[in-house]
Amino acid sequence: MTIEVTLSVPDELYEQAHLLAEQTNRSVAEVLSTLLQDVVSLPAPHPQRALMQQEERWLAKVKETLLPQYENQYIAFFQGKVVDSDADVDSLIERIQRSHPDEVVLIKQLTRDEDPILEIRSPRLL
């Protein structure tokens, strides 16, 4: 069973879908339907993802003030505060697993470097 839907999409998206449709001998509707099906079948984000993102935002705000004390150390950041640190990440993880077993704790090496930006391209849309 299918339901017919009228959908407004940006010109650029339509052009990409049209190009992909031509390359694969399908209709634009088939291409968009397949892409939509792929997206909705992805696993849902982990329920605690928002908590981890909040910890990352808090850390970004205070990173410069923490660098003098923790530069090149691994820190455990929980509810906006450093709760532990160590030069050895494995030791830190063991302690955090004991002290905060069911909590979302950000563990990260604190450096002056920017976090790398990872770009992952979809082979389907190239």
The predicted-structure confidence for 39-55, as pLDDT tens digits, reads as follows 888 887 888 889 999 99
Kindly list the domain boundaries of the chain, sorted by start residue. Answer: 11-40, 49-109
The predicted-structure confidence for 81-116, as pLDDT tens digits, reads as follows 999 999 999 999 999 999 999 999 999 999 998 877
Q: Pick the more confident residue, 92 or 119.
A: 92
pLDDT of residue 63: 95
Segments in the chain forming alpha helices (H): 11-24, 28-40, 49-70, 89-99
C-alpha pair distances (Å), 73 with each of 45, 70, 84, 108, 110:
29, 5, 10, 8, 6
Q: How many alpha carbons fall within 13 Å on the CB side of residue 100?
A: 15
Please indicate, yes or no, whether the overall pTM of this predicted structure exceeds 0.75. no
Report the mean per-residue pLDDT for the chain: 90
